[in-house]
Amino acid sequence: MATNILLVGVGGQGIILMSKVLAAGLAQMGYDIKMSEIHGMSQRGGTVTTQIRYGDKVYAPGIGEQEADCIVSFEKVEALRALPFLKKGGTMITDKHEIYSMPVLTGKAEYPGNALELMAEAVENLHIIPAMDKALELGNVRVQNICLLGALVKVLKLDAVDWKGLLADYVPEKALDLNKQAFAAGYAMI
Amino acid sequence: MVKEIMSGNEAIARGAWEAGCSFAAAYPGTPSTEILENLAEIREISARWANNEKTALEMAIGAAIGGLRSLAAMKHVGLNVAADPLCAVGYTGVNAGLVVVTADDPGCHSSQNEQDNRFYALLAKVALVEPSDSQECKDYIKEAFAISERFDIPVLFRVTTRICHSKGLVELEQPGETVVKPYQQNRSKYCMLPANARVRHVVREESLAELEEYANTSSLNRIEWGSRKLGIVTSGISYQYAKEVFGNSASILKLGLTNPLPRTLIKEFCGAVDEIYVIEEGEPFIENAVKALGFSCTGKDKIPITGELNASIVGAALAGKNPQAGYSVEVQAPPRPPVLCAGCPHRGFFWSLKKNKKRIVAMGDIGCYSLGVGEPFAGFETNLCMGAGISGTIGFAKALEKQGDPRKVLGMVGDSTFFHSGITSLIDVIHADANVIACILDNSITAMTGHQVNAGSDRDVQGNEVPAIDVVALIRGLGVPEDRLRVVDPLDLKAMQQALDAAVAVKGPFVIITKRPCVLIKEVARANAGRYCQVDPDKCVGCRACTLIACPAMAFKDNKSIIADPASCTACGLCMQMCKFDAISKVGE
Ligand SMILES: Cc1ncc(C[n+]2csc(CCOP(=O)(O)OP(=O)(O)O)c2C)c(N)n1
């Protein structure tokens, strides 16, 4: 049986990098991996999703509704949008960070401020974490993704990998320390 | 053996390298774009972005006839543009191997249709190969080159979005020596005059028969025996869905070489199982063949022709696997459609167009400016295919004129689209003396597909210095007089209005070129870093005029406009021009 992870967020948030590091770590653990990234128009502020499946042998690259063992959301309403993909008993990790889409900015749609409260009532395994706040505190919004990676690693118990060591292959040297701190902070948030 | 995580597109490029391919040409288009981007990084390969898919394929054909293993890549609709050379090279055959990658897009993730390009293999009489994951992308490309040379036939290599953009582990092998097959003149083979073409058609039918024999035993077509109660015939990504749903319980005929279809093998398989399912995405390409061989089977009666498949759809359709209820909450996530970026030059163009709606009716085309179709701009009435934004105006203007509609018709294309096919459209406009406004929205890059260089760039994809084509000089060269030609900064609303006024005032063709580089171009982004606009809350009266341009860096809170995201703001100044109260200023200039 494969384990299914769904990463969701908004274009430009660093989801692709996070999925690359995650996949490299899973490969180190000897798993077969399939990963699916739908780009398309994502760069223009649309929703971005990456699906990662790992196990002894993985066939289909994608994850259907109610098939995700774990969802990591970089943004509040994206968690809401992805909720139908969560398996019963699965885990949702979401940042409480908010990014308003154009229909919200122009007043054509409303941003549901209470999304997390509603989700908390429905989902048993929900972790709301302040990854973006932590990134801001560390002085670089771009480490939000690695903070979330730390949280995910904790939830999935993927401790057999030297994740901080792996980061060196994926982030510029001058940002390495910051990324390690972000990872540790995320890990501690669960 | 070294294993690497690769997307299908990366694996295709790697496979071509391992196969000793040394020439590649493509025109960008999701989901195919990264194939050429990866090939361009290989020193042994001469890689080019072509102006369109037809010229890309023609370049590759030239290289293959000349003696180099070559590859052309395009998205599915691109093959429509390249269909003419494809059908010709189907008859001539090749010298060194020729592989044409078509990246289809079931589900329309980023396309105008879901056409199933496997039918092009039948039409053009070329071989068809379908991989089902990244490993096969690499392995099958090598096999495709071998088939191409052995049977003197171009190979259509058909992938889909889910294969191109999915990643999996790939076992790497050594890059191959560049293959060079000495060129030998052979006019009766390569000159498709009717007398030669008739002969070549006969030759092709013969070689297709030989290739079918090969397909019956090729390792690309294999049977995985399981229970003989159920036999599944499948190809491409659908194989993965079949395995996901049925595991090793059913028998599977997995087809990788699908034109010509291995009819003997299919008969052997179908005759040995009690019930047959054909699982394929898109059209009933294999199913029709199975039925033609006299077997009844389940296929498109249960599995949709429309949209993209996945394991759940296949499971629900064929295995009665219906998902139980999952999680839900009462509120819905607000939509998050893609939008024009903060600072995008197209925004100024579309705002100007909107202000002139009573006088001008517009036809659109494909590029980032397609995003101008949505609210608040509702910028154009049609967009079909690349180039149509200009040529379509000729007929549309005639039709509106006949109905007494006084509005002037305007057409628009981006710079890449102009080089792709807009240029021939513009020549039509000028030569027809059509009463239309032709706009070229020149942002110095092919933006929508992720920033590829084009004929207007001074560097090619491999970093070589090349002569940039000057769009304005080109259009002058077509004989457009100075008073019918305007070059404007689209973010200068006054200049835009003057250009549109001048265009509406005359009868006949008028050309407007909007010139300002895309803000995502690295150098432009670097220059804009630290620059942003700010709203003086004391001067802002909350009239919302500045929000009409739908800039994602702006928000309206507590009855005032604010620059909510200064990091994405480029200080383009469009909001300043909208403000009548002088409340917005630039910072960091
Ligand atoms: C025949 C065909 N080939 C390729 C594409 C993919 N495609 C969509 S938009 C686009 C580029 C548009 O670039 P440009 O015209 O410069 O506009 P920009 O996005 O820069 O505004 C391409 C190549 C397509 N839709 N149709």
Q: Which residues of B touch A83 (CB under 8 A)?
A: 326-329
CA distance A125 to B370: 41
- Per residue, what are the HEC states of B56-106? HHHHHHHHHHHCECEEEEEEHHHHHHCHHHHHHHHHHCCCCCEEEEEEECC
Residue B569 confidence (pLDDT): 95
Residue A39 confidence (pLDDT): 62
On the question of a common fold for B221-318 and B345-524, the answer reads: yes
Q: Is B177 on the interface with A (CB under 8 A)?
A: no
Q: Is A27 on the interface with B (CB under 8 A)?
A: yes
Q: Is A28 on the interface with B (CB under 8 A)?
A: no
Q: Is A47 on the interface with B (CB under 8 A)?
A: yes
Q: What is the DSSP string of B191-213?
A: ---HHHHHHHHHHHHHHHHHHHH
Protein residue closest via CA to atom 21 of ligand 1: B368
Tens digit of pLDDT at every position of chain B (589 positions):
789 999 999 999 999 999 999 999 999 999 999 999 999 999 999 999 999 999 999 999 999 999 999 999 999 999 999 999 999 999 999 999 999 999 999 999 999 999 999 999 999 999 999 999 999 999 999 999 999 999 999 999 999 999 999 999 999 999 999 999 999 999 999 999 999 999 999 999 999 999 999 999 999 999 999 999 999 999 999 999 999 999 999 999 999 999 999 999 999 999 999 999 999 999 999 999 999 999 999 999 999 999 999 999 999 999 998 877 889 999 999 999 889 999 999 999 999 999 999 999 999 999 999 999 988 999 999 999 999 999 999 999 999 999 999 999 999 999 999 999 999 999 999 999 999 999 999 999 999 999 999 999 999 999 999 999 999 999 999 999 999 999 999 999 999 999 999 999 999 999 999 999 999 999 999 999 999 999 999 999 999 999 999 999 998 888 999 998 888 899 999 999 999 999 999 998 7
CATH top class, domain B345-524: alpha beta
- pLDDT tens, position by position, B422-436: 999 999 999 999 999
Q: Which residues of B touch A123 (CB under 8 A)?
A: 327
Residues 6+ apart with CB under 8 A from A85: A6, A63, A64, A65, A66, A67, A68, A71, B326
Distance from CA of B357 to the nearest CA of A (A): 21
User: How many contacts (CB atoms, under 8 Å) link A and B?
Assistant: 175
Find the residue in A nearest to B111 (Cα).
A40
Q: Is B337 on the interface with A (CB under 8 A)?
A: yes
CA distance B55 to B52: 6
What spacing in Å lies between the alpha carbon of A90 and ligand 1's midpoint?
A: 40
Specify the CATH number for the domain of residue A140. 3.40.920.10
Determine, for residues B328 and A122 on separate chains, whether the beta-carbon distance falls below 8 Å: yes
Residue in B110, B369, B418, B448 to alter for ligand 1 test, most ligand atoms within 8 A of Cβ: B448
Distance of CA B114 to the CA centre of its chain: 12
- Give just the sign of the alpha carbon dihedral B259, B263, B264, B268: positive
Q: Is B515 on the interface with A (CB under 8 A)?
A: no
Residue A40 confidence (pLDDT): 56
- Of B93, B65, B66, give the one whose Cα is nearest residue B151: B93
Find the residue in A nearest to B545 (Cα).
A106
Which site among B166, B327, B347 would you substitute to test the A interface, given the most A Cβ atoms closer than 10 Å to its Cβ? B327
Q: Is 3.40.50.970 the CATH classification of the domain at B3-217?
A: yes
Distance from CA of A62 to the nearest CA of B (A): 7
Q: Is A84 on the interface with B (CB under 8 A)?
A: yes
- Of A122, A188, A110, give the one whose Cα is nearest residue A155: A188
Determine, for residues A36 and B167 on separate chains, whether the beta-carbon distance falls below 8 Å: yes
Find the residue in A nearest to B449 (Cα).
A40
Residue A107 confidence (pLDDT): 79
Report the atom number in ligand 1 closest to the C-alpha of B30: 6
Residue B442 confidence (pLDDT): 98
Task: Determine how β-strand B360-363 pairs with β-strand B436-442.
Answer: unpaired
Q: Which residues of A touch B240 (CB under 8 A)?
A: 59-61
CA distance B156 to B386: 23
Q: Which residues of A touch B167 (CB under 8 A)?
A: 23, 33-37, 61
First to last CA, chain A: 25
What residues line ligand 1, using a CB cutoff of 6 Å?
Answer: B 27-29, 75, 77-78, 81, 366-369, 386, 413-417, 443, 445-449
Please tell me the total count of domains within chain A: 1
Which of B162, B323, B448 minimises the CB distance to A66? B323
Residue A41 confidence (pLDDT): 60
Residue ranges of E strands in B199-266: 221-224, 227-235, 250-255, 257-259
Which CATH code of 3.40.50.300, 3.30.2350.10, 3.30.70.20, 3.40.190.290 fits the domain covering B530-587? 3.30.70.20
Mean pLDDT score across all residues of chain A:
93
Which of A40, A58, A61 minimises the CB distance to B109? A40
Q: Which residues of B touch A74 (CB under 8 A)?
A: none
Structure tokens that stand for A146 in this block: 């690695």
* Amino acid, res. B483: D
* CATH architecture of structural domain B221-318: 3-Layer(aba) Sandwich (3.40)
What spacing in Å lies between the alpha carbon of B481 and ligand 1's midpoint?
A: 28
The SS3 call for residue A132 is helix
Neighbour tally for B247: CB within 10 Å = 11
Low-confidence stretches of chain A (pLDDT < 70) are 39-43
Domain boundaries, chain B: 3-217, 221-318, 345-524, 530-587
What spacing in Å lies between the alpha carbon of A43 and ligand 1's midpoint?
A: 15
Which of A11, A109, A122 minimises the CB distance to B334? A109
Report the atom number in ligand 1 closest to the C-alpha of B52: 3
What spacing in Å lies between the alpha carbon of B446 and ligand 1's midpoint?
A: 7
Report A:104-143 residues touching B (Cβ under 8 A): 104-112, 114-115, 118-119, 121-123
Determine, for residues B337 and A101 on separate chains, whether the beta-carbon distance falls below 8 Å: yes
Find the residue in B nearest to A85 (Cα).
B326
Protein residue closest via CA to atom 10 of ligand 1: B367
The verdict on whether omega for the bond into residue B154 sits within 30 degrees of 0, i.e. cis, is no
Interface confidence, given as ipTM, is 0.94
Determine, for residues A103 and B335 on separate chains, whether the beta-carbon distance falls below 8 Å: yes
- pLDDT tens, position by position, A77-129: 999 999 999 999 999 999 999 998 988 887 789 999 899 999 999 999 999 99
Q: Which residues of B touch A60 (CB under 8 A)?
A: 240-241, 243-244, 310-311
Q: Is A44 on the interface with B (CB under 8 A)?
A: yes
Q: Is B240 on the interface with A (CB under 8 A)?
A: yes
Alpha-carbon distances of B290 from B284, B306, B317, rounded to whole Å: 10, 21, 19
Distance from CA of A75 to the nearest CA of B (A): 11
Q: Which helix (DSSP H) or strand (DSSP E) does residue A78 occupy?
A: helix A76-82
Q: Which residues of B touch A109 (CB under 8 A)?
A: 334-335
Q: Which residues of A touch B35 (CB under 8 A)?
A: none
* Amino acid, res. B151: F
Domain that includes residue A102, residue range: 3-188
Report B:435-454 residues touching A (Cβ under 8 A): 448, 450
Report B:532-551 residues touching A (Cβ under 8 A): 547, 550
Q: Which residues of B251-274 are buried (b: 16+ CB within 10 A; e: fewer)?
A: bbbbbbbbbbbbeebbeebbeebe
Q: Which residues of B touch A58 (CB under 8 A)?
A: 168
